[in-house]
Chain A
Amino acid sequence: MTRAATLAWFARHELRLAWREWLSMITAGRRRRTRAAIIGLALFGAIMHLPAWAVVGRYADLQPPLDKTALIVITATIMLSWALMLSQAIESVTRVFYARADLDLIMSSPVRLAEIFSVRIAAIALSVTSMALLLATPFVDVLLIEGGARWLAAFVVVAAVGLSAAATAIAITIVLFRLIGPARTRLVAQILAAVIGAGFVIMLQIAAIVSYGTLSRFAVLTSDAAAAIAPDPDSLVWLPARAALGDPQALLILLAAGLLLLGIVMMVFSPRFADTAISAAAQGVSSRAGAQIRSFRGGSRQQALRRKEFMLLRRDPWLISQTLMQLLYLVPPALLLWRSYSDTSQAVILITPVIVMAAGQLAGGLAWLTISGEDAPELVATAPLPAARIVRAKIEVVLITIAVIFAPLVLALAWVAPWQALATTAAVLIATISSTAIQLWFRIQARRSQFRRRQTSSRLATFAEAFSSIGWAATAALAIALPEAAVICGLMTAGLLFAAWKLSPARS
């Protein structure tokens, strides 16, 4: 086989692996679900055209030359997409480094490693870009239908942005490896992946709250102040926006820049890719030399269980990144709350559903980790304490963690609006208990490392958990603003929980 043929063959192999990993993620590893998953995905894509129409439909008629405000909004949207793709790409790169088991095979084969790893880098870029194109399709479709074929350029912009995001992600991850080592890179990369995408939106919201007292991120983008400090319309800064509107020159430059960046990353980093991947595969957590041998702590058996759960939660990188993201989303409402001390604005009501929603979602993740994600189930099952007490200790861990995270925010709320704080506390408690109960009803035996894919193991549990959190968040908000409606919303959410219980394996 010629070198070119070998590379083409390896590229096909990489793409097949990426496709199967993606398919396994959406079908929870059950091949029989493939057709149903693809139909579900197609339906989801079709439905997504509705919100896409609501979001971008009004921009379809935009024609160059654009004013500064339009340029700012389009550029910010492209930057947000880039941040989200970067986040996704960092996650993909980390997975390739840590989870692929084919390294020994590739390293021992008679191929040029730099070329093979260049193909692997290109495959990562391609899979990130394909995912971005897939997600962007409903939005671009709406622009195409409403505004004409010139919006086809938006697909090329998405591809160019995807290529540059993947290249940046690879560079960031390999540089992190060199700087802080494989063990810490895994944690830092996961945290970065979680916060980069959310961070952009949150920064805009914070700016909007500080400047205008509103949570709307468009307030900043469409403000006169932003337009005043923005560069002139012919500046290079607006190149992506012009490319999206179909300017062929801008489009070519943007695509060339994306490809060039990826080429540079492949050239510079592919020779190091092998070393980096080997370090990741061989990583061991360094010993704390000279660490003191302390005596074991006493206490009841449940206390031992709780201590173990807290320790494992503290050391879980996925949980840390997810929690951090949830907390980041709480920053804007917290800021709004802080502003409300000297303000009689009703905007403070918005805080309640955000807190309740975050608590419900976080409780679901915590409950999965403690109840289903038990790495030594046989040890716990053969321990001399009743199963009910084991479950109780695990539930206590979820409740305590949620209380520690959300109590400061609720206490601050109590200072401004005591009744609202009371309603928020009750709703946080109910949402937490509901999410935990759903995890109990749908419990499965899994390893903690499967946490990232927990949503795919039971779609029913995932939807029940999400709708329960949304339902209780809405109920809490209505309880403050419109109590009669809150009763109906609460009953509907309770009904949903009842349905989830009826359908759960715990009942059968």
Chain B
Amino acid sequence: MTPESSALAVRGLTKCFERPAVDGLDLVVRAGEFYALVGPNGAGKTTTLRMVAGLLKPDAGDIAIFGIDALDDPIAAKQVMAWVSDEPMIYDKLTPLEYLEFVSGLWGVDPASSGHTARELLVSLGLEPHLHERCEGFSKGMRQKVALAGALVHDPQLIILDEPLTGLDAVSARHVKGLLAERVRRGGTVIMTTHILEVAERMADRIGVIAAGRIVAEGTLAELRQQNGRTDTSLEELFIALVDVESAA
């Protein structure tokens, strides 16, 4: 696969804090793919994605986003992607519409079209009754939806989400999953970390299992089963087996 045909190509990515958090990680995500990154706590999922999003500087390695070298030209790379963290960071004193207007402005989106898109997004996420309320009284789920709408309003080609379903109720989680699936159907690429293996199993085209800062297994669910010689097992059992092997090593 050429770097241009991949949404994300990471090679030899390394980041050390007191110990290696990400240890020479290689990862390729195809354009138009829903990729789930799963792994135990402290495996390096968030650190990897924060480096991809430009929030952390890697100690070593290369990151290419749609063929753009994200370390050489971070502005061009950021233009085509969006980042949603597990802790939604929005402005308490802005309304959802004002927040989306700000995000559109930051990404330089045509205001005529983004206004319409923003309203549609917020309505589709069930926030219509709250369009003109300031976010300060919002629940965690509502805040997460506003942050997600902010990530989608500039129509990014690649969306990176770190545990986006944490703290969401079943209805909100379903809304979010539906929106992400729709995004992928329309050709977008989604990379998501999650602890909810059932979500990864049901939504992802491919799953990467990360442990101790490295990808230890990768592929579709069927491929993962095949690789591990367990043809009729759940992702949860596979995951435990893979992580156990890695920690024993």
Contacts and interface: CB of A to CB of B under 8 A. Distances in A.
Interface of A: 283-288, 291, 293-301, 303-305, 307-308, 311-312, 315-316, 375-386, 448-449
Interface in B48-81: 53-55, 75-76, 78-79, 81
A317 B141 CA distance: 26
Among the interface residues A295, A311, A378, A382, which one has the most CB atoms of the partner chain B within 10 A? A382
A449 to B, nearest CB: 8
A296 B129 contact: no
B97 interface: yes
Given A315-B93, A382-B78, A287 B133 contact: yes
B103 interface: yes
B106 A383 contact: yes
A381 B115 contact: no
Contact of B150 (A307, A311, A375, A379): A379
A386 B79 CA distance: 12
B102 A293 contact: no
B37 interface: no
Given A283-B137, A303-B105, A305-B106, A311 B94 contact: yes
B75 A375 contact: no
Contact of A375 (B89, B114, B130): B89
B90 A285 contact: no
Contact of A379 (B103, B111, B131, B136): B103
Given A375-B90, A384-B76, A296 B104 contact: yes
A304 B105 contact: yes
A296 B90 contact: no
Interface string B98-113: 1011111111101110
A377 B213 CA distance: 25
Contact of A286 (B101, B106, B115, B133): B133
B92 interface: yes
A166 B136 CA distance: 29
B132 A291 contact: yes
A378 B129 contact: no
A380 B103 CA distance: 9
Contacts of B76: 384
Contacts of B150: 379
Given A378-B53, A385-B75, 4 more contacts: A293-B119, A295-B112, A375-B90, A380-B106
Contacts of A305: 102, 105-106
Contacts of B112: 295-296
Nearest to B104: A296
A376 B90 contact: yes
Contacts of B114: 296
A353 B107 CA distance: 43
B139 to A, nearest CB: 10
Given A286-B133, A295-B115, A381-B55, A375 B102 contact: no
Contacts of B90: 375-376, 379
B134 interface: yes
A52 B130 CA distance: 55
Contact of B89 (A283, A284, A293, A376): A376
B133 A284 contact: yes
B204 interface: no
Given A384-B76, A384-B78, A386-B75, A293 B105 contact: no
A316 B93 contact: yes
B118 interface: yes
A311 B78 contact: no
Given A285-B136, A311-B94, A376-B90, A297 B101 contact: yes
Contacts of B130: 287
A385 B82 CA distance: 13
A224 B234 CA distance: 93
B149 to A, nearest CB: 12
Given A284-B137, A304-B106, A378 B98 contact: no
Contact of A293 (B53, B75, B104, B115): B115
A232 to B, nearest CB: 54
Contacts of B108: 300-301, 384
Contact of B83 (A299, A303, A378): A378
A383 B107 contact: yes
B85 interface: yes
A379 B98 CA distance: 14
B239 to A, nearest CB: 28
Contact of B102 (A285, A308, A385, A386): A308
A285 B95 CA distance: 10
Contacts of B137: 283-285
Contacts of A304: 101-102, 104-106
A296 B90 CA distance: 18
B94 A296 contact: no
A297 to B, nearest CB: 6
Contact of A287 (B92, B119, B129): B129
A312 B101 CA distance: 14
A346 to B, nearest CB: 45
Given A375-B91, A376-B89, A381 B54 contact: yes
A37 to B, nearest CB: 30
A376 B106 CA distance: 13
B194 to A, nearest CB: 19
Contacts of A376: 89-91
5 contacts: A285-B134, A316-B93, A375-B91, A379-B90, A385-B106
Contacts of A311: 93-94, 98
Nearest to A377: B89
Nearest to A316: B93
A283 B119 CA distance: 25
B211 to A, nearest CB: 25
Contacts of A385: 75, 106
B97 A382 contact: no
A311 to B, nearest CB: 7
Among the interface residues B53, B75, B83, B93, which one has the most CB atoms of the partner chain A within 10 A? B93
Contact of B132 (A287, A308, A386): A287
Interface in B214-240: none
Given A301-B105, A301-B108, A382-B55, A375 B98 contact: no
